[in-house]
Amino acid sequence: MTQQATTGELSGPRSLENAQEWMRDRLKKRIHPLGLTNPEATLRTIDGLKGLDGENWADAWITTGNGYLEQGKALEAAGDLAAARDAYYQAYGFYFLGRFPCPNHPAKEESYRLGLAAYAKFGALASPPIVPVTIPFEADKALQPEIRFYFRKPENVARPPVVIMWGGVDAWKEEMTELSDTLVAAGIATIAMDNVGTGQSPLKARADGEAQFLPVIEWVRAHAELDGTRIGLIGRSFGGHWATKLAHLMPEKLRCAVNWGGGVHYMFQRDWVEQSRYPDSYLMELVETRSRMLGASNDAEYIEGFRVLSLLDQGLLSRPCAPLLLVNGKEDKQCPIADIHLLLEHGSPKTVRLFPGGHMGFGPHTVPTIVAWVADQLDVRAVPGKV
């Protein structure tokens, strides 16, 4: 067996048995990517997996997702909208697993398509509703002339502040739902969008990839029903890179930003790229998923695509920045803790919170800590479950 699951690194891709063991552990802990779906149905699907190849992987999760989708349709037709909403969310969750970590196979692409459709049904029944928005976008080598995101506005809150948030290489705008729920409950409007190079993003990740976030920030600033003077950003996992960059590029337009597990310099160096090919915190296909984000077709392009993202080499880290919270797990093998130390040695003072464990420091206090800090920066005081 090539895996070394207790050392923090693997020596190669996981076997099916090792992957199933990893998934059962994450399911028990209810952490990404096994935190969204019904535990019993998820365990049955894990146990029934025939392989990690795209076709076998996607087909298993799609089959379970289809069952929940049909439940949702029947419940909606019967008028039980709350139960239908929950069934649609379960369907989306299983389709998400079917395309995980990225749709690099036709069967995974189909699971992603099904997931978007199921999420639209869920979002229409959510409270408050999750509203899809499309705005124009222009940039050199753009993949499409538009940006798509989800907008939620808390009920009975006049001109709320706004958090714009996005995920990393494998958690996309649909996976921001639970974080959105917590923020909306605190009276904060949310915009969930795809990280650069993922989902329906109009760009591949590149040195100026922050261009896709700028029109969304301006959309918020111009929206009459939102307080455009109180904008925060949350970048999850790889997305923390772009939150950090924007905090340095436009501190005058942002009240705060959160880098939740993202890299700034050391993560993008060749030695770390080599060390982090098979972290034990990742299920499979990390290099393939990152390469797809970058638009890289070979290893040389992958390494170069990472190198140009260094914010230190771009000369940004000594600039003033908006209030910035850095959050991660102390034993992260995907993003080096050295990047947090580097940020602390440059520019404006930062706030740091490290948690036990690996990438992103998932635990019961992680999201409440982030939301409480953001709420303070946005002058929102009544936060449910504030720590």
Same domain, 69 and 199: no
Q: Point out the domain boundary residue: 125, 152, 168.
A: 125
Q: How far apart are CA 96 and CA 58, in angstroms?
A: 9
33, 30, 19: which is closest to 174 by C-alpha? 33
Say if residue 115 is in the same domain as residue 143: no
Average pLDDT, the chain: 94
Residue 9: DSSP 8-state: B
Low-confidence ranges of the chain (pLDDT < 50): 1-8, 385-387
Segment 292-309, tens digit of pLDDT: 999 999 999 999 999 999
Q: Where are the alpha helices (DSSP H) in 139-239?
A: 177-185, 214-222
* Cα radius of gyration (the chain): 20
Tell me, yes or no, whether 168 and 33 share the same domain.
Answer: no
- Report pLDDT for 279: 83
What's the pLDDT tens digit per position in 82-120?
Answer: 999 999 999 999 999 999 999 999 999 999 999 999 999
DSSP H or E segment with residue 93:
helix 81-99
Contact 163, 191 (CB under 8 A): yes
Residues 77 and 199 both lie in one domain: no
Q: Helix or strand or coil: residue 42?
A: helix
pTM for this predicted structure: 0.93
Same structural domain, 91 and 157: no
Same domain, residue pair 267 and 329: yes
What are the structure tokens assigned to 170, written together? 């494998």
**159 and 210 housed in the same domain:** yes
Q: What tokens does 216 get?
A: 């969304």
CATH code where residue 150 lies: 3.40.50.1820
Same domain? 338 vs 269: yes
* Residues spanned by the domain of 14: 1-125
**In terms of domains, do 88 and 222 share one?**
no
Residue after which a domain boundary falls, among 125, 152, 182: 125
| Shared domain check, 287 and 213 | yes
**One domain, residues 284 and 204:** yes
Domains of the chain: total: 2
Given 125, 140, 172, the domain boundary residue is 125
Q: Name the phi and psi angles at 169, rounded to 5.
A: -80, -25
CATH of the domain at 27: 1.20.1440
Burial of residue 382, with CB atoms counted within 10 A of its CB: 0-12 exposed, 13-18 middle, 19 or more buried: exposed
- Residues 298, 256 share a domain: yes
pLDDT at 382: 56
